[in-house]
Chain A
Amino acid sequence: MQTPQTSPASHPAVVPERVPGTVQIFWSRFRKNPLTMVGGVIFILFVLIALLAPVLTGNDPNQVRMDLALQKPSAEHWFGTDEVGRDLFARVIYGTRLSLGMGISIIIVAGLVGTILGAVAGYLGGKIGQIIMRIMDVILAFPTLILAMALSAAMGPSLMNAILAIVIVKIPAFVRLARSETLVVKEKLFVKAAQTFGLSDTWIIVRHIIPNVITPVIIQMTLDLGDAILMVATLGFLGLGVQPPTPEWGAIISTGWRYFLDQWWYPTFPGIAIFLVTISFNIIGDGLRDMLDPRSAR
């Protein structure tokens, strides 16, 4: 209801009503997208599993019990045991910590570095832009997985080197994305206005360019997260990443696949975990893209 005012439509200085912000619009779209909800639920489940690992299982993932080797799934060992009697449920659960942690840190580092490089290359252009983009072209010239394998093999198999290798191969996609978005934002009047104030390029990039290109980068980050986790597992599977006995999904499958015919549970459960995580991120990423894309606004 409108309340009567005393003077006809007071001065222009009337406080406008609050309108729904991006977050509210985003949430209302999120709720109308059941598939994304499913992806989100799976993701939250995995995060909870990672956080609550010690609560979920009393077993030590690294405790060797030769007498319990290769046991079937049972009430005691939900996912069975491996060839040296370690509880596979515990190993998969603790592996969640590692996989999610590595995947997320890889993506955050790659996304951040990529955004900064892309914004600089797009905004400044010229020689600096050329140099950045040519380096990215070189990285992109190789298939990502092969390059990540080569890099981590060259640097020596270790957890840190595997992370570094994957970060390097993941950066160019973010640079390209951030640069193309920057080229659009750069032409906006608020950037021109900041230029007329005589502000530095650094200020403009940090305060105007990056905040305005970050949304598509974040979507790309969620889409790539599943892929990064898969790459971590692949490197682990190939013996190039996480070293035993650390419980990592790829590494578990790597030893486990030999037992597949007789002890099917050994590689199956970590496999399912990889599958679920990867697919949930793809679903979330797709959903985010649809939600944030103004063309699909409805």
Chain B
Amino acid sequence: MLLEITDLSLSFHTLYGTMPVLDRVSLSIEPGEIVGIVGESGSGKSVTAQSVLRLLDRNATYTGGSIRFKGQDVLGMKEKEIQGLRGKKIGMVFQEPMTALNPTMRIGKQLANVIRKHQGVTQAEADRLAVEALAAVQMKDPQKVFRQYPHELSGGMRQRVVVALAMSSPPELLIADEPTTALDVTVQAEVLKLMKELSTQTGTSVMLITHDIGVVANMCDRVYVMYGGTVVESGKTEEVLFHSNHPYTRALIEALPEGKPKSQPLKVIEGESFNARKRPVGCVFWDRCPKRTARCQEKPPVVEGLNGHRIACWEGKR
């Protein structure tokens, strides 16, 4: 097991008081796997990803559970040890590429710096590897991009540079938080394909955070569906998306306009997006669930089916 998150709970301190954000989130990633975390706003998907590298603000408190990376307890690590993980063993790609790039430095120099830091090679060797890394992310003219500044590149090119930065010394885990949300669909398809290929070549595991079910369907081996800070359903992508057992996952897929007949209204999930200030006491989906019963006012059990397909729902317990 490369990454294992067990019963992770986390709270934010805000003006409104202490708000639970994650509630007993469990999640695991095997070496070489591409695992999707899909959810809407307020689902806690990004918080989960950031907690792996302890990137959260000081107003976040871990209230329970553990995060283990190759067996090491991440939450117990000293700041120094965490920094040893960041970038080196665990890479990150964010939605906005400019957060990872220095606008005043040439692309080649930024890449070479990172390569030198991680691999301890000479400057000349680092430069050579940087051009190679740019070629690996399918830049048409890596030599030219090497000499360019971030602002001279399009959004899609920048995101490729960020992928090159993260993958130049292949980490064991790549956390990609909405990596293609800011990009056009045609560019998105290319960047996703690239990430998938790099993962296959290098054996790097990918934790892909997205709101887009289509992206999960095309990219991921396994998927975790999150809602209101909990994992409501998880398992092999096919099983979760095409044979979903949790009412939320099912309703979410039904609500997609894709392939639905025009003449009929879409099936909707009633109510508003998850609001942490109005967190239900029992099942998080309680107030919007079409199938709720009196039992759902207590926290639902996690029920395991075939092939590791799990749902957190009373309905699953027959």
Chain A residues with Cβ below 8 Å from B289 are: 8-9
Within 8 A of A (CB), among B232-272: 270-272
Q: Is the CB of A19 within 8 A of B292?
A: no
- Give the distance in Å from the alpha carbon of A34 to the alpha carbon of B281 in the complex: 37
- Give the distance in Å from the alpha carbon of A10 to the alpha carbon of B282 in the complex: 18
Pick the residue among A11, A17, A20 that contacts B15 (CB under 8 A).
A20
The secondary-structure label for the interface of chain B is loop
Q: Is the CB of B59 within 8 A of A19?
A: no
Chain B residues with Cβ below 8 Å from A14 are: 271-272
State how many angstroms separate the Cβ of A9 from the closest Cβ of chain B. 5
State how many angstroms separate the Cβ of A136 from the closest Cβ of chain B. 33
Pick the residue among B16, B270, B280, B286 that contacts A11 (CB under 8 A).
B270
Q: Is the CB of A9 within 8 A of B294?
A: no
Pick the residue among B59, B271, B277 that contacts A9 (CB under 8 A).
B271
Given known A4-B297, A20-B15, contact A12–B270 (CB-CB < 8 A): yes
Q: Is the CB of B270 within 8 A of A2?
A: no
Residue B290 is within 8 A (CB to CB) of chain A in the complex: yes
Residue A75 is within 8 A (CB to CB) of chain B in the complex: no
Chain B residues with Cβ below 8 Å from A10 are: 270
Chain A residues with Cβ below 8 Å from B292 are: 8
Q: Is the CB of B15 within 8 A of A2?
A: no
Residue B24 is within 8 A (CB to CB) of chain A in the complex: no
- Give the distance in Å from the alpha carbon of A298 to the alpha carbon of B12 in the complex: 11
Residue B287 is within 8 A (CB to CB) of chain A in the complex: yes
State how many angstroms separate the Cβ of A226 from the closest Cβ of chain B. 29
Residue B80 is within 8 A (CB to CB) of chain A in the complex: no
Residue A199 is within 8 A (CB to CB) of chain B in the complex: no
- Give the distance in Å from the alpha carbon of A10 to the alpha carbon of B286 in the complex: 12
Within 8 A of A (CB), among B281-314: 281-282, 286-292, 294, 297
Residue A28 is within 8 A (CB to CB) of chain B in the complex: yes
In the complex, what residue of chain B is closest to A5 when comparing beta carbons? B287
Q: Is the CB of B286 within 8 A of A2?
A: yes
Chain A residues with Cβ below 8 Å from B277 are: 17, 19
Within 8 A of A (CB), among B110-158: none
Q: Is the CB of A28 within 8 A of B270?
A: no
- Chain A contact residue count (CB 8 A cutoff): 18
- Give the distance in Å from the alpha carbon of A29 to the alpha carbon of B271 in the complex: 32
State how many angstroms separate the Cβ of B42 from the closest Cβ of chain A. 14
- Give the distance in Å from the alpha carbon of A212 to the alpha carbon of B59 in the complex: 29
Contact-residue size bin, chain B (C-beta under 8 Å from the other chain): 20 to 34
Pick the residue among A2, A8, A12, A16 that contacts B297 (CB under 8 A).
A2
Q: Is the CB of A8 within 8 A of B290?
A: yes
Residue B278 is within 8 A (CB to CB) of chain A in the complex: yes
Residue A1 is within 8 A (CB to CB) of chain B in the complex: yes
In the complex, what residue of chain A is closest to B286 when comparing beta carbons? A2
Q: Is the CB of A2 within 8 A of B271?
A: no
Q: Is the CB of B287 within 8 A of A2?
A: yes
Chain A residues with Cβ below 8 Å from B280 are: 2
Residue A25 is within 8 A (CB to CB) of chain B in the complex: yes
Q: Is the CB of A12 within 8 A of B272?
A: yes
Q: Is the CB of B281 within 8 A of A4?
A: no
- Give the distance in Å from the alpha carbon of A22 to the alpha carbon of B297 in the complex: 33
Q: Is the CB of B15 within 8 A of A12?
A: no
Chain B residues with Cβ below 8 Å from A9 are: 270-271, 287-290
- Give the distance in Å from the alpha carbon of A26 to the alpha carbon of B292 in the complex: 39
In the complex, what residue of chain A is closest to B275 when comparing beta carbons? A16
Given known A2-B286, A4-B297, contact A17–B16 (CB-CB < 8 A): no
- Give the distance in Å from the alpha carbon of A29 to the alpha carbon of B292 in the complex: 40
| B→A interface (CB under 8 Å) | 15-16, 59, 270-272, 277-278, 280-282, 286-292, 294, 297
Ranked nearest first, the 5 interchain pairs of A and B with the lowest CB-CB distance are: A9-B271, A9-B270, A9-B288, A8-B290, A9-B287
Instruction: Name 9 extra pairs, CB < 8 A, besides A2-B286, A8-B291.
Output: A1-B281, A2-B297, A4-B297, A5-B287, A8-B288, A8-B292, A20-B15, A25-B15, A298-B59
5 residue pairs bridging A and B, Cβ less than 8 Å apart? A8-B270, A8-B290, A9-B288, A16-B272, A298-B59
